[in-house]
Structure 1
Amino acid sequence: MTRPVDPISDDDLQAYVDDEIDVARRIEVEAYLSAHPAEASRVMADLRIRDELRLSLADMPADPAQARLRFATAEAARRLEGALSRDRWLRGLRRVAAVGLLVCAGWFAHAEFGPLAVSRVVASDLPPAYVEDALRAHRTAQVRAGMLSQTGASYDPAEIRAATAIVMPELPTGWSVEDVQVFPSAFGPSVEMSVKTRDFGPVSLFAVRPGSFDVVQARTVSSEDLNAAYWQIGEVAYALVAQAPPRELDRTAERLARSLY
């Protein structure tokens, strides 16, 4: 009889980050994270911060003045690492406090200076390099679609997985695969699938192994007349490219990502 698995709690996730968990429970936590990308992304961020803090404590310099400065920095790092190990509800409290502070600042600025005209700002990191590859592959596919001499290739997801180690998402009902091409990339072959849809028109679904393990939820970027929604699950990253509204494209990307679990 198999042993029932206890639900994974925030305490288990924190113990996982702090290396204070036995091997059996660690396996259960990792299985839970593989099915919950949002939690996995948060835990990976905590692991990165923990490792950066521990790295800052190593290699103490020989010079006395530098040693004292490094010691003070190390003490601050230890306090910060301890703070990161507290209950996770503090994070939510900090976010609420930050939002409240921004709201108060906005009301103060409005009272002092009147209404402000704010331009649209994209407050996010630059998209990964494979997104540009996906946009380029989409434009190339559109050129191929207009050439009578370029016939489309048949789509066999099992064959693609066997040849490239890339699992393609399950396509929504009504999507029709027009062409499939394999392109070279820095970490092995990538896959570009041209799809005909009723809602978005021509769509490209691009998949590649970027050379790193990560869990990235769907995000949308714009490039000239195209929008791209990209995400990553484990060792494979994906990008959905189309002339579609970013919000709708983002929702579709989330749907495709869920089909991979």
Structure 2
Amino acid sequence: MSASPITEIDLHAYVDGQLETSRRAEVEAFLAAHPDVVAEVQAWRMQNQSLHDIYDNVLNEPVPLRLTGALRSRRWPRGIAAGVAWLSCGLAAGWLAHGWMQGPAQPRTFAQNALAAHVLYTAEQRHPVEVTAQQEAHLVAWLSKRLSAPIRAPKLQEQGFGLLGGRLLPGQDGPLAQLMYESDKGERLTLTVRHASQAQSETGFKVMEQGGNRAFYWIDSEYGYALSGSIDKRKLLEIAQAVYLQLHQSSN
């Protein structure tokens, strides 16, 4: 009998460590054959870790004495108590999800996806990009068409990096463009770009760090950008500023 198809439920359970050994092996075999899904799975892992980083301190705080006293002072019928508990958990989870998916959390989610894709594809030696820099005009035109907006490839030779090529990535609210750069030393950077249908609240540079890699990300009108790399933090910021100046000036 053939194994049942791998579903998104299986992938989420895999990320959460909830699969039995046999099913986990099937999922890992599926991921090995579908590298395009690995970036999404890695992004989920990073989202989970970020949620822990943000909320674990709150969740691990002791319950205030005034609340524990209130609970002890009233005996609830078992069914009602269970219902209240589940309702409280549901409201808390819903609010956390609301805060995670709405407003200022969106750029962070974008940056997480960009950083996960950076880690995945910069490790590739034979196929780091879909379209090489030798076809830069085609690459830029293709990515612009898929994002329904003009995409530009900044020139980073003064910063010691040349364009290697690029690829299309799946995004939470539409496709993303990834441009990869490489130095003479073999160091690689990626610039991930997203486009929104309307202008967003512009932001300054923000940084995200994970496992020796970091990304500077920002919002500039309808565009979101994330520059990712494992080089020195100050150097990466200088390059992010150079990217911003080139792209911002060319759009005006």
Q: TM-score by structure 2 length?
A: 0.47
* Structure showing the higher helix proportion among its residues: 2
The structure that has the greater radius of gyration is 1
